[in-house]
């Protein structure tokens, strides 16, 4: 056979297996959304995903907003349209930077934690033990993580966005002396509710991606500590790449729906 076709078919197969696996895990997780709920597990995951991630997203939002305001000011100052800095910061944070940067940071923090925790459970036979105790590992491990991510990644994104806008205001108004009233008026006049809603829908999708990829990599961990390390790295890299690719397509989906 042609070596190029061989190479392509081998690599397509290599890519198709994890794509199918992730899809199956997602379907199984949705099927497992039924009582009795693992309440204690859900609360624990919400603390891990939500409360423990607050410092990360706050720092991300603050410095992104401040840098964005500073860079925009330096360019806009040449054109004497400094008052539009607020609008640029607001739109960028709500539509793109807030959801994407929060998603990337959370993929690093939460995705890695999911993959390493479930990966360790897999290699030490704790996942097998769940089976023998008549407990579905998807319901016990994945459902609480998916609920926590789908519910809290959007909330963490809102926090990132607002802190980013606040950081931008401090830099633009207090540091560079832009008129505060114009700064806020431009922002509120040219932004619409969908700018925020669109960002939240993205964050919801990114939350699902982070949870499912992290859990999938964890369940498919092989070997000992080295395997757990590989799974953790794989979860972060895959989630980050998926977030960036999905973000690109969502922009066009919004446009197609007439809301972008």
Partner 1 sequence: MIEIKGLHKSFGGNPVLNGVNLNIQKGETMVIIGQSGGGKSVLLKHIVGILKPDEGEVWVDGVNITNMDNNALNKVRCRFGMLFQGAALFDSLTVGENVSFALKRYTALSEKDIQEKVKEKLALVGLRDIENIKPAELSGGMKKRVGLARAIAMDPEVVFYDEPTTGVDPIMADAINNLILDLHNKLKITSIAVTHDMVSAYKIADRIAMLYQGAIIGVGTPDEIKETTNPIIHQFITGEAQGPIPH
Contact set with partner 1 (CB under 8 A): 121, 124-126, 128-129, 131-136
Number of H helices, E strands in the chain: 12, 0
* Shortest distance in whole angstroms from residue 174 CB to partner 1: 46
Q: Which of 116, 74, 45, 85 shows the shortest CA–CA distance to 187?
A: 85
Are residues 247 and 157 in contact, defined by beta-carbon separation less than 8 angstroms?
Answer: no
Radius of gyration of the chain (CA): 21
* Shortest distance in whole angstroms from residue 141 CB to partner 1: 11
* Shortest distance in whole angstroms from residue 220 CB to partner 1: 14
C-alpha to C-alpha distance for 51 and 159, rounded to whole angstroms: 12
| DSSP letters spanning 65-101 | HHHHHHHHHHHHHHTT-GGGHHHHHHHIIIIIIHHHH
| Closer of 77 and 131 to partner 1 (Cβ) | 131
* Shortest distance in whole angstroms from residue 52 CB to partner 1: 15
* Shortest distance in whole angstroms from residue 120 CB to partner 1: 8
C-alpha to C-alpha distance for 98 and 229, rounded to whole angstroms: 29
Burial class of 170 by CB neighbour count within 10 A (0 to 12, 13 to 18, 19+): middle
Residue spans of beta strands (DSSP E) within 129-185 = none
| Closer of 75 and 124 to partner 1 (Cβ) | 124
Q: Which of 157, 159, 245 shows the shortest CA–CA distance to 204?
A: 157
CA 15: distance to chain centroid?
Answer: 22
| Closer of 29 and 83 to partner 1 (Cβ) | 29
| Closer of 105 and 141 to partner 1 (Cβ) | 141
C-alpha to C-alpha distance for 153 and 40, rounded to whole angstroms: 20
| Closer of 4 and 133 to partner 1 (Cβ) | 133
* Shortest distance in whole angstroms from residue 134 CB to partner 1: 4
| Closer of 131 and 174 to partner 1 (Cβ) | 131
* Shortest distance in whole angstroms from residue 59 CB to partner 1: 28
* Shortest distance in whole angstroms from residue 131 CB to partner 1: 5
| Closer of 134 and 257 to partner 1 (Cβ) | 134
| Closer of 136 and 195 to partner 1 (Cβ) | 136
State which H helix or E strand residue 125 sits in. Answer: none
C-alpha to C-alpha distance for 196 and 198, rounded to whole angstroms: 6
């Amino acid at each position: 056979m042609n070596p190029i076709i061989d190479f392509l078919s081998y690599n397509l197969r290599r890519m198709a297996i994890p794509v199918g696996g992730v899809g199956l895990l997602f379907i199984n997780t949705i099927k497992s959304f039924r009582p009795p709920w693992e309440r204690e597990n859900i609360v624990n995951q919400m603390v891990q995903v939500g409360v423990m991630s607050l410092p990360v997203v706050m720092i991300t939002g603050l410095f992104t907003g401040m840098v964005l305001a500073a860079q925009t000011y330096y360019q806009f100052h040449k054109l004497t349209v400094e008052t539009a800095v607020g609008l640029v910061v607001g739109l960028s944070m709500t539509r793109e930077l807030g959801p994407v940067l929060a998603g990337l940071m959370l993929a690093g923090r939460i995705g890695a934690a999911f993959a390493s925790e479930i990966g360790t459970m897999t290699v030490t036979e704790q996942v097998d033990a769940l089976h023998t105790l008549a407990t579905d590992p998807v319901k016990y491990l994945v459902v609480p993580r998916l609920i926590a991510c789908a519910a809290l990644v959007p909330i963490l994104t809102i926090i990132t966005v607002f802190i980013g806008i606040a950081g931008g205001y401090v830099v633009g108004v207090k540091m560079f002396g832009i008129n505060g009233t114009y700064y806020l008026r431009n922002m509120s006049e040219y932004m619409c509710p969908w700018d925020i809603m669109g960002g939240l829908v993205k964050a919801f999708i990114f939350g699902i991606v982070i949870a499912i990829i992290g859990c999938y990599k964890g369940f498919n961990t092989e070997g000992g500590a080295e395997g757990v390390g590989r799974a953790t790295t794989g979860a972060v890299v895959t989630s980050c790449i998926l977030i960036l690719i999905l973000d690109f397509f969502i922009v066009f989906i919004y446009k197609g729906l007439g809301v972008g």
